[in-house]
Amino acid sequence: MQFRDLSRQYQALKADIDRAMLDVAASSAYIMGHHVQELERELAEYAGTRHCISCASGTDALTLALKAWGVKRGDAVFVPDFTFFASAEAVSREGATPVFVDIDRETFNIDPADLENKIEATIRKGLLVPKVIITVDLFGLPANYPVIRRIARKHRLLILEDGAQGFGGSINGKRNCSFGDISTTSFFPSKPLGCYGDGGACFTDNDEWAALMDSYRMHGKGSSKYENVRIGMNSRLDTIQASIIQVKLKAFAEELAAVNKAAAEYTARLKNIVQTPAVPAGFMSSWTQYTIKLNDKTERDGLQAYLHSQEIPSRVYYPAPIHRQVAYANLGISEAECPVADELCETVLSLPMHPYISLEEIDEVCNAIERFLHRREGAGENMAALR
Ligand SMILES: *Cc1c(COP(=O)(O)O)cnc(C)c1O
């Protein structure tokens, strides 16, 4: 069993993907070929935004957004403490300061109450200027946008939606990557819509920011490639990757239905024995991860070791909150800053999940979890029964 079986997806879509890749090879339009513009139109239409600007990675997409807004040294950017490192790294690369916000225990997403606390504390201290809230649609579930948008308005902050894991999720039919003033995603292979290498995209309704991000991704170009009006980057999506994503986008609705069916099956089997992931009413996840919570670190680590012994892969996303990463030791963040993020890092476990997982495989994972938990609960009697 694989944790995320990308080869099954390739086998299912092989004829179309092979043709797409070979077409690009034959066309020799390797950089900014017509597939890139076509894909940008298709992605913007899917997300429901005016513009999509593709680029070389999800990390670069965050960077392009921050550059378009002129985020710089002295600015505070609020970032959830429980996410992939890149969400904060992009902020620091622009010289701004990430302010880490704690997590909602049920949804794993940024906690609006702590967000308000951290914004107000930053204003009180007066050392940094609050500019941006980075929300992350962690594991595929949209953040709490109705509430976060109110907070952003009240404090005049911009929302940068890091939808790297969230493409395909929605709230009452409005899709992820349309909730931010600028939103971003990643096409890293294991994300919901992955390519065969690195790739990313920015989404926005704002014409001016779209034009700036288009300029920054190509060496700060002006009206032509050889007129350079600002210091930019080299961050384009390869034509070959765009052509692969176009094929996968056609299969995406079916894959989204499949992961939601798999998640429902896991939840039905596991909801009485572990804490299963919460999906608020009206929300839909794209299930980049299916993540359960155990009672404590001992139980979590024990279960992971047991699953490993049964040849079932599982992962800990994430083993440490960002504020405890060595790279941020210099920020001098106090120990008790984000207690829920600390707790989750000790208790979460992500199970095998992808659109091509079978009901038999889910059954196998759930049976193993049941065996492990019953064995721990029961004394010698149960142990004997299990043998
Ligand atoms: C993967 C990921 C990124 C970075 O995407 P890359 O394409 O790998 O650069 C950023 N934020 C989150 C939340 C991610 O999961």
- Whether residue 135 is found in the same domain as residue 191: yes
Would you tell me how many other CB atoms lie within 10 Å of the CB of residue 92?
16
Residue 378 confidence (pLDDT): 60
CB distance 238 to ligand 1 below 6 Å: no
Mean of pLDDT values over 30-51:
97
Query: Distance, CA 57 to ligand 1 centroid (Å)?
Result: 8
Mean of pLDDT values over 23-44:
97
Residue 276 has pLDDT above 70, yes or no: yes
For residue range 173-182, what is the model confidence (pLDDT) as tens digits? 999 999 999 9
User: Residue 285: which CATH number?
Assistant: 3.90.1150.10
CB distance 200 to ligand 1 below 6 Å: yes
State how many domains the chain has.
2
- Whether residue 207 is found in the same domain as residue 265: no
Residue 387 has pLDDT above 60, yes or no: no
When pLDDT is cut at 50, 70 and 90, the band that residue 244 belongs to is very high
Atom of ligand 1 nearest to the CA of 61: 9
86 Cβ neighbours under 8 A, 6+ residues apart: 58, 59, 62, 164
Residue 1 resides in a domain: no
Residue 382 confidence (pLDDT): 46
CB distance 304 to ligand 1 below 6 Å: no
pTM summary value: 0.96
CB distance 83 to ligand 1 below 6 Å: yes
- Whether residue 326 is found in the same domain as residue 264: yes
- Whether residue 133 is found in the same domain as residue 46: yes
Residue 381 confidence (pLDDT): 46
Give the C-alpha separation, 163 to 191, whole Å: 10
CB distance 186 to ligand 1 below 6 Å: yes
- Whether residue 242 is found in the same domain as residue 300: no
- Whether residue 353 is found in the same domain as residue 378: yes
Mean of pLDDT values over 130-153:
98
CB distance 54 to ligand 1 below 6 Å: no
Mean of pLDDT values over 303-309:
98
Would you tell me how many other CB atoms lie within 10 Å of the CB of residue 124?
8
Query: Distance, CA 223 to ligand 1 centroid (Å)?
Result: 31
Residue 383 has pLDDT above 80, yes or no: no
Residue 386 confidence (pLDDT): 46
Residue 300 has pLDDT above 70, yes or no: yes
CB distance 164 to ligand 1 below 6 Å: yes
Q: What is the DSSP string of 63-96?
A: HHHHHHTT--TTEEEEEESSS-THHHHHHHHTT-
Mean of pLDDT values over 79-85:
97
- Whether residue 239 is found in the same domain as residue 319: no
- Whether residue 242 is found in the same domain as residue 292: no
Structural domain range at position 31: 6-102+109-250
The rounded percent of the chain whose pLDDT value lies above 90 is: 93
Bridge-based pairing state of the strands 200-204 and 75-80 = unpaired
For residue range 181-191, what is the model confidence (pLDDT) as tens digits? 999 999 999 99
- Whether residue 203 is found in the same domain as residue 288: no
Residue 347 resides in a domain: yes
Query: Distance, CA 294 to ligand 1 centroid (Å)?
Result: 26
CB distance 108 to ligand 1 below 6 Å: no
Give the C-alpha separation, 242 to 144, whole Å: 30
- The β-bridge partners of 183 are 161, 203
Atom of ligand 1 nearest to the CA of 86: 10
- Whether residue 188 is found in the same domain as residue 170: yes
Residue 332 confidence (pLDDT): 80
- Whether residue 200 is found in the same domain as residue 278: no
Residue 96 has pLDDT above 80, yes or no: yes
Q: Whose CA is nearest to atom 6 of ligand 1?
A: 58
